Chain A
Amino acid sequence: MDNHLLLTILVLPIIGTLILIFIRENRVSIIKSVAAIICGLQLWIIIQLLTSFDKTVSYLQFAEHINWINLLNIDFIIGINGINLLYLALAGIVFFTTVFISWRIENQQKSFFILLLLLNGGITGVLIAFDLFLFLMFYGLTLFAMFILVTLFSPQSANFQTGHFGVKALVSFCLIMIGTLIVNNQNPGFGFNLVTFAQNPGLPANVSNAGFILFLIGFLIIAPVFPFHSWLAAAVHETITPVSILLLALFSQIGIFGILHILFPLFPGHAVQSAILFAILGLIGALYYAFSVFSISNFKKIVLYFAGYLNAFVLLGLSALLAIKFQTPDAAFTGLNGAIILSTASGLITLLLLLLPKAYQSVIKDDAINGNRWQLKFMILLVLLAGLGLPGFLIFIGQYLCLSGAFCQISTRIISIFALSGLILIGVQFFRIIRAIIRPDNRFDFFVKTTEIQNEKIIMPMIIIILLLLGIFPESILKYLNQSIDNLMELLTILR
């Protein structure tokens, strides 16, 4: 049974999609139930994976290796290590909660849930694929499902914005495809096997330069990191909240995951050499997003720029790789740990923040009818403070590790200090929001359609508890990462 757990979570959403296609459009409750069962089963299997994952070994676990296309040496290789498992857990939580959040979605329910499951299949495939061709296939599927979701659930007037997102996604796909092919071209005997390429990265300088740039831009577009961020505001703001959640909490994390999962193992030398580039991109991104958050009153826009800020912070964590160059790999190890934890935590916190407008509306409504609802207000307060990096929450651990990794070198230390100044602006804005919630005024626009978000009162506390528990006991999450990051560090140190 254990051996096929990964295959099962990959196949489940695809089966679910096929089932939904054959259910009539007016049977909405059956459609929603099927989607919930599929995502629930998937989450249950992910929990099984988490409990039976051996944290003491560094090799791929639950792996399946099937010869697929002999002509091009393409293999069907899926498996997980600590890094993949964390992102898989994030995906499981986000998909499961999105089904319940969008329980009373108004129009085109069938299309929504079909695309949700298709996206689920695509993202799951991306997260567990260890063959570049397989990765590319699932990546294409993910981009396609995401684009259709965004376009279908945005108003007609937002055609330009959604189109912008589509074009950026396609450019990212093309760059990664060409990158994959030029890597394969150098060693056709390796096929597309990521593990083999990672262990033998002897690519000629010009090829690895081109490959690194292509993969890097491809993933940065999706992340979305400044200056490739323009689709973020365009697509996220226009679409409905459940789709925004998928975009911000999950889709944008795929870019960071791609950098860790593909870019670093394939081009270890370039990764270390260009660590300073990550720091600079992180600094510019952090300041840009912080100023954007500070100057905007629309809450949804604040959240999307805040998500961008967190991703910029993740880049600061990745810039700790510079320490390898100066023979202090421990700092790089800490930075990588921080980047992964912050990336997954930012997915969860973005989900919470996007649910917040509905909770705020409930507060306003309840204030008028029943008097003061302090429980809900306290929960909103907690979400905002957790986002800011309140000690005790997972975001704090991620930010702390990222900074302590980056602080080990003088150049990245200075950059990080400047980047941290952005946090002050964000803090000011978040405290203004807190004030607006405690003493309601019209300063901020919390508008959201009531049908767009459902069950937020159940989902929000659950995710807050997860963030709090993991923040108090970070060792439980670090244990999963230790061996995988050790492995990655070995590649980066020896093969660079």
Chain B
Amino acid sequence: MNNFDSLPFFIPEIILIFNVFLLLLFPDLRRKNILFLLKVFILLNLAIACLVNLAYMPGMPLGLFFNNFARDPFAGLFSSILLGLFLILNIDKLRRLEERINIDCLINELICLTASILLVKANSMTAFFLCVGLIFISYTTHYYVFNRKIADNYAILVIQALIFGLLFFVFWFIYGLFGSLYFNSIDPASALLRHNPATGCYIILLLTLGFGLYGIVLPFYFLHRGKEMLTEFRNSTYFIALMALFGSLIRLSYRLFSEQSNAVEVSRLIGLFSACLMVCVMIGANLYYLKKKTAANLIITALIIHYSMTIIAIIADTADTVSAAIYLMLSSVLIFAGIASLPDNENATILKKVLLTIFYLGLIGLPGTSGFIARFLLIKSLIDAGISLWIITCALLFSLPLTFYFMREIINLQKKRIIQVNTRQLYCMPTLLALYTILSGIFWEPLFELITESIVFFK
């Protein structure tokens, strides 16, 4: 499609940018009535954007802006997830819009959200780098505004530059192999990779390093610095960008390592390589974690381990593994978001204890929670995809220390003294997320089917 025909499919992004302008134009509102209207208006806009995305889900896939972006069920689903995530993590900021700092923060995060939604739709390397660039700018800006430590800011900048550089290199490498800048033109991938599986492994290494820097190395950095990542997670830029990069990796890997009859052997070799790589990452995370056992470090390690497991599943590259990977990532990110959206004070109210316990149980993977079903589906799909049993066993066993220490954390939590604090409003969103954690552990079928349907068209 050309520019003008494509425009209607970008209504959600246009709405989001409109909101950014709105917040830029009315930064100093003091009148309560107008402020209330503004809040309602922004919420309404977000809801409309989400509905429009969902409405675009069914139907034939389309290439937009001369195939630089794509409109397909996958993009529709992921955009809706990102919008939902944004709402969950920013509802508190929207509630307290009278504070100037919240407006600044929201502007930044709305830009990041827009870039992330575009990234999920990106179908060419040019579009990909435009969106990644925009995300990194918004993340860095956010970090510079809210963190005054020069060393941290410098490290964040270096890591982002590394990600950009690595991805730039691997994308040009892929371009050199397949001669196209467009993701959906990488069709003969399997035939090319069959000649030399090492090429595939090399691409995997670079891709997992590139994408993994954001999902794994960035949390590792915080872990190493002993920083409280929980406060860091409170802004949505990290999670939304993580999910968007994850979506983009799925789109790319589906094209690169498509499951074709003559490529099964190649896929298996590449799958084995990536699985070994990710098991090493999990071992590393465990070793790092053992140095300092705080709740925040536990959560970061859980993020790294879940991310590693999902990458194994994505590279295994069947509809089931990818669906399970998305389900696990969604479940984990929503639990992390729930933990991050809890009030950050030392007081242990009854509700906070209950909610934290549910979230931890979800991360452990207790039967009856979304965490259990996500892991179960992932392991099942990996076995069905023919990934080596030893690798799967290792991956599962290396996630055990984490599970064990989370159980300890739950026990420590029960021993804390309860203090009654009346902050009910703050618990609204975490309560909803805790309900999701339980309900999606029991009635998970509809969501899983929706995810599977959204990626089926890739094949």
Which residue of A133, A166, A174, A188 contacts B393 across the interface (Cβ within 8 Å)?
Answer: A174
Which residue of A137, A151, A171 contacts B368 across the interface (Cβ within 8 Å)?
Answer: A137
Chain B at the A interface: mostly helix, strand, loop or mixed?
helix
Which residue of B366, B396, B401 contacts A141 across the interface (Cβ within 8 Å)?
Answer: B366
A140 touches B380 (CB 8 A): no
Residues of B within 8 A of A181 (CB): 376, 379-380, 383
Residues of B within 8 A of A148 (CB): 407, 410-411
B445 touches A69 (CB 8 A): yes
A163 touches B408 (CB 8 A): yes
Residues of B within 8 A of A152 (CB): 411, 414
Interface residue ranges of B371-429 to A (CB < 8 Å): 372, 376, 379-380, 383-384, 389, 392-393, 396-397, 400-401, 403-404, 407-408, 410-411, 414
Residues of B within 8 A of A151 (CB): 407-408, 411
Residues of A within 8 A of B408 (CB): 151, 163, 166
A341 to nearest B CB, angstroms? 31
Residues of B within 8 A of A70 (CB): 445
A166 touches B445 (CB 8 A): no
Interface residues on B, range: 20 to 34
A171 touches B397 (CB 8 A): yes
With A and B bound together, what is the CA distance between A298 and B379 in angstroms? 44
Does A294 reach chain B (CB closer than 8 Å)?
no
Residues of B within 8 A of A188 (CB): 384
A211 to nearest B CB, angstroms? 10
With A and B bound together, what is the CA distance between A151 and B407 in angstroms? 10
Which residue of B400, B410, B449 contacts A174 across the interface (Cβ within 8 Å)?
Answer: B400
Residues of B within 8 A of A141 (CB): 366-368
A177 touches B376 (CB 8 A): yes
Which residue of B367, B389, B448 contacts A138 across the interface (Cβ within 8 Å)?
Answer: B367
Which residue of B372, B384, B397, B414 contacts A140 across the interface (Cβ within 8 Å)?
Answer: B372
Residues of B within 8 A of A144 (CB): 364, 366, 407
- Name which residue of chain B comes closest to A125, CB basis: B367
Interface residues on A, range: 20 to 34
A111 touches B403 (CB 8 A): no
Does A8 reach chain B (CB closer than 8 Å)?
no
B389 touches A147 (CB 8 A): no
Which residue of B392, B403, B445, B449 contacts A170 across the interface (Cβ within 8 Å)?
Answer: B403
- Name which residue of chain B comes closest to A140, CB basis: B367
A178 touches B403 (CB 8 A): no
Residues of B within 8 A of A368 (CB): none
A166 touches B411 (CB 8 A): no
Interface string of B347-377 (1 = CB under 8 A from A): 0000000000000000011111000100010
B404 touches A166 (CB 8 A): yes
- Name which residue of chain A comes closest to B384, CB basis: A185
A170 touches B404 (CB 8 A): yes
With A and B bound together, what is the CA distance between A177 and B411 in angstroms? 25
Residues of B within 8 A of A140 (CB): 365-367, 372
Residues of A within 8 A of B (CB): 69-72, 111, 133, 136-138, 140-141, 144, 147-148, 151-152, 163, 166-167, 170-171, 174-175, 177-178, 181-182, 184-185, 188, 210
A-B contact list, 11 entries, CB within 8 Å: A136-B376, A140-B372, A148-B411, A151-B407, A151-B411, A167-B401, A174-B393, A174-B400, A178-B396, A181-B379, A188-B384
Cβ-closest 9 pairs across A and B: A137-B367, A140-B367, A174-B396, A170-B400, A181-B383, A185-B383, A181-B380, A166-B404, A151-B411
